[in-house]
Structure 1
């Protein structure tokens, strides 16, 4: 579980937290890792889903607090 938690933290930091994401909407595969499945299930797979469901606006880097929430 510790490894999966670390992967989740890394995925959020690298794929969701930046203010600009080159492949927005395509950065999280639908399968291949348990974290990917969880991100789709919780609407944290892309900034558009995060905006729609969690009301965190795109175009602005996610804060440390927002990263923990996700």
Structure 2
């Protein structure tokens, strides 16, 4: 996650590994109920380590 106050991404967790070849679905929450932080990014980090978001790793980008 990336906040307006700090330009660096904040690692907030990871999704469980999936072996499904079809699309996966998952549920997550950020912040307080009904409040979505601006500028959040969900990235794919194949090495299992958080890394700087880039065009090839961004899976979902919030408002």
Pairwise TM-score range, normalised by the shorter structure: under 0.3
* Structure of higher CA gyration radius: 2
Task: Judging by fraction of residues, say which structure has more strand.
Answer: 2
Task: Judging by fraction of residues, say which structure has more helix.
Answer: 1
TM-score scaled to structure 1, two decimals?
A: 0.24
